[in-house]
């Protein structure tokens, strides 16, 4: 596989996109913040199935981090990321810096509601506005036919779909299954923060959620099942549980028995915050 073309300016990106369009090629995009793992590579593989060309953006977006969060220590490993993209067959890596994405005098932001309400927003109130703003910019810059997002960040996936519907952005949003390690832990760039003992605890998150989702699908009381899942996470060794919540799968409205749903959770191990979700089947 050849190394992907690496561009760091919107002007150069758009010129390449125009050339591809002139040749009749379709384009898929995978927005990332770098520190690529097997989950990201699975998105690239789906993108290459969906379109002739795959554009991967690598940009650590400051507007989705609160002042107390881990922007400064978020893993940065561009050379390794580009090698992984070469192996995966991505054709272009877009690697803008902050000045390129948010030039001097930048004041506009997108405010989102609907599926952005609650869950992550209760703990990270500016997060989805930052996500929506940067995703809208990336779509306007690259003009992809489709974009691939992992279901691990399930609320984000729902927010981006709503964003495209509401603003008539002509991009098909494709949700990709969560990639997990052999123990069921969802792949995440933040897993690199975990020590061996913390990894053992983290790998229990998915199993606890699956037990709770099965109980809900079988008709267990929702409040009781969620409270039991929260207790099980603390007993397993998590330091704090931000939320465990059942939501409808498409809208993230409150879940009702008999409807397809998602059980979503966020919990802390030391200074590392992990999220995950599992399906709650309708029957």
Please indicate whether residue 222 or residue 70 has the higher confidence score (pLDDT): 222
Residues 137-154 have a mean pLDDT of 98
User: Is 171 marked within a binding site?
Assistant: no
Residues 24-42 have a mean pLDDT of 97
Instruction: Give the predicted TM-score (pTM) of the model.
Output: 0.96
pLDDT digits (tens, 9 = 90+) for 149-192: 999 999 999 999 999 999 999 999 999 999 999 999 999 999 99
Q: Which CATH number fits domain 5-176: 3.40.50.720, 3.90.25.10, 1.10.1370.30, 3.40.50.620?
A: 3.40.50.620
What are the residues facing 279 on neighbouring strands?
262
User: Is 153 marked within a binding site?
Assistant: yes
User: Is 55 marked within a binding site?
Assistant: no
Residue 69 · residue 131 · CB < 8 Å: no
Among the options 40, 137, 161, 262, which is catalytic? 40
Query: What are the residue ranges of CATH 3.40.50.620 in the chain?
Result: 5-176
**Could you tell me whether strands 92-94 and 146-150 are parallel, antiparallel, or unpaired per DSSP bridges?**
unpaired
User: Is 97 marked within a binding site?
Assistant: no
Range in 71-75, 85-89, 135-139, 269-273 with the lowest mean pLDDT: 71-75
Query: What are the residue ranges of CATH 3.30.1300.10 in the chain?
Result: 189-278
Q: Is 40 an active-site residue?
A: yes
Rounded distance between C-alpha atoms, residue 91 and residue 54, angstroms: 6
Q: Confidence band (pLDDT; 50, 70, 90) for 137? A: very high
Residues 74-98 have a mean pLDDT of 97
User: Is 179 marked within a binding site?
Assistant: yes
pLDDT digits (tens, 9 = 90+) for 105-114: 999 999 999 9
Rounded distance between C-alpha atoms, residue 148 and residue 215, angstroms: 31
Nearest to 153 by CA among 41, 248, 39: 39
pLDDT exceeds 90 at position 216: yes
Dump strand ranges (E) for the chain. 5-7, 27-32, 53-58, 92-94, 146-150, 172-176, 240-248, 261-269, 272-280
Rounded distance between C-alpha atoms, residue 212 and residue 222, angstroms: 9
Rounded distance between C-alpha atoms, residue 92 and residue 29, angstroms: 10
User: Is 7 marked within a binding site?
Assistant: no
- Domain 189-278, what fold? 3.30.1300
């Amino acid at each position: 596989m050849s190394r992907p073309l690496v561009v760091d300016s919107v002007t150069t990106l758009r010129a390449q996109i125009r050339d591809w369009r002139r040749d009749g090629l379709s384009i898929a995009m995978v927005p990332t913040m770098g520190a690529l793992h097997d989950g990201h590579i699975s998105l690239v593989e789906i993108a290459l199935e969906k379109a002739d060309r795959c554009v991967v953006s690598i940009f650590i977006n400051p507007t989705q981090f609160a002042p107390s969060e881990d922007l400064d220590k978020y893993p940065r490993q561009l050379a390794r990321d580009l090698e992984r993209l070469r192996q995966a067959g991505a054709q272009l890596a877009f690697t803008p810096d902050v000045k390129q994405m948010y030039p001097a005098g930048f004041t506009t932001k997108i405010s989102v509601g609907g599926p952005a309400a609650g869950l992550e927003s209760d703990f990270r109130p500016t997060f989805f506005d930052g996500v929506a703003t940067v995703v809208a910019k990336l779509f306007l810059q690259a003009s992809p036919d489709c974009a691939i997002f992992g279901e691990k960040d399930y609320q984000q996936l729902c927010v981006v779909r709503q964003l495209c519907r509401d603003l008539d952005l002509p991009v098909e949003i494709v949700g990709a299954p969560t990639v997990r390690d052999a123990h069921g832990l969802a792949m995440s760039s933040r897993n690199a923060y975990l020590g061996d003992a913390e990894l053992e605890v983290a790998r229990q998150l998915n199993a606890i959620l699956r037990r709770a989702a099965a109980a809900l699908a079988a008709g267990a009381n929702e409040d009781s099942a969620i409270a039991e899942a929260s207790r099980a996470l603390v007993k397993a060794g998590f330091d704090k549980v931000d939320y465990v919540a059942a939501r409808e799968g498409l809208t993230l409205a409150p879940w009702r028995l008999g409807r397809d749903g998602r059980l979503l959770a966020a919990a802390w191990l030391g200074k590392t915050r992990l999220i995950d979700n599992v399906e709650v089947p309708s029957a």
